[in-house]
Amino acid sequence: NAGVTQTPKFQVLKTGQSMTLQCAQDMNHEYMSWYRQDPGMGLRLIHYSVGAGITDQGEVPNGYNVSRSTTEDFPLRLLSAAPSQTSVYFCASSSLGGKGTEAFFGQGTRLTVV
C-alpha cells in the first residue's frame, strides 16, 4: 500500500529559485495538509485542504502556495526560495472522521536552500 507519497525526498535550491513539492495519497482522504519540521520547533502547519478546490492557510503560510485540483494530489509551491525555508517538509492526509482521526504522513522532503 502506497499511502502518502512525497517527491522528491531531497532537494537543494538556490535562493530565489522556485519549485514544487509533490504529495499524492491513494486512500481517498478528504483532508490533506503540509507541515514543516525544524529543530526545536516541532511540526508547524503551512497550508491545508478539506477537499478538492478548498485550501486554507495554517500557522506559517508565507512564501508557499497550494492548490487542490483533485482529491489525490496536494502540491506545495515555493515561489522564491529563501534560506529560512530550509527544512523537512511533511505532507499528511486523513479522512473526515471527526475527533481522534489518524493523520497519515509521507516520508518527508528534506529541502536545503543555499
Partner 1 sequence: TQLLEQSPQFLSIQEGENLTVYCNSSSVFSSLQWYRQEPGEGPVLLVTVVTGGEVKKLKRLTFQFGDARKDSSLHITAAQPGDTGLYLCAGADSRGGADGLTFGKGTHLIIQP
Q: Which of 68, 64, 65 minimizes the C-alpha distance to 93?
A: 68
d(CA 100, CA 98): 6
Distance CA 100, CA 6 (A): 24
The C-alpha atoms of residue 68 and residue 70 are separated, in whole angstroms, by 6
Does the footprint of partner 1 cover residue 27 (CB under 8 A)? Answer: no
Min CB(10)–partner 1 separation in Å: 10
102 binds partner 1 (CB under 8 A): yes
Among 42, 61, 75, 87, binds partner 1 (CB under 8 A): 42
Q: Compare residues 3 and 63 and give the one whose CB is closer to partner 1.
A: 3
One-letter amino acid for residue 106 of the chain: G
Binding region for partner 1 (CB under 8 A): 4, 29-33, 35, 40-45, 48-50, 56, 58-59, 90, 92-108
